Amino acid sequence: MDKVMRMSSEKGVVIFTKSSCCLCYAVQILFRNLRVQPTIHEIDTDPDCREIEKALLRIGCSTAFPAVFIGGKLVGSTSEVMSLHLSGSLVPLIKPYQSLLY
């Protein structure tokens, strides 16, 4: 779990994904369209893949992937991110991480 917490606080917006996950891709595109370049941890290639997945579930992610962290705090998976976006609450959270040049 320490590894996940360390990785999730490296940058402003961090997403844990799997390469075969279409919802992971959709969340990445959403953030890019909102002018945020998230740090992506595609864990398929990580030797600790199983432990990372278990840790994400233990800390409260409803499904392990995608797992979105903003400012080092767990936001959740696709449904939580989309709910925040539709309610207008996502942009204020990511405002400090938006790029003017993107």
Q: What is the pLDDT of residues 5-47, one digit of tens each?
A: 999 988 999 999 999 999 999 999 999 999 999 999 999 989 9
pLDDT at 87 over 90: yes
Residue at 62: amino acid letter: S
Closest to 100 in 3D by CA, of 37, 39, 35: 35
How far is it, in rounded angstroms, from Cα 36 to Cα 71? 13
pLDDT band at 101 (very low <50, low <70, confident <90, very high): low
DSSP symbol at 42: E
Q: Collect all residues with Cβ–Cβ distance below 8 Å to 47 and sequence separation of at least 6.
A: none
Q: What pLDDT sits at residue 60?
A: 87
C-alpha distances in angstroms, 9 versus 19, 39, 83, 101?
Answer: 21, 10, 23, 23
36 within domain boundaries: yes
pLDDT at 77 over 80: yes
102 within domain boundaries: no
* Domain with 42 in it: 3-97
For the question of whether the overall pTM of this predicted structure is more than 0.85, the answer is: yes
Question: For the domain that residue 47 is a member of, what is the CATH number?
Answer: 3.40.30.10
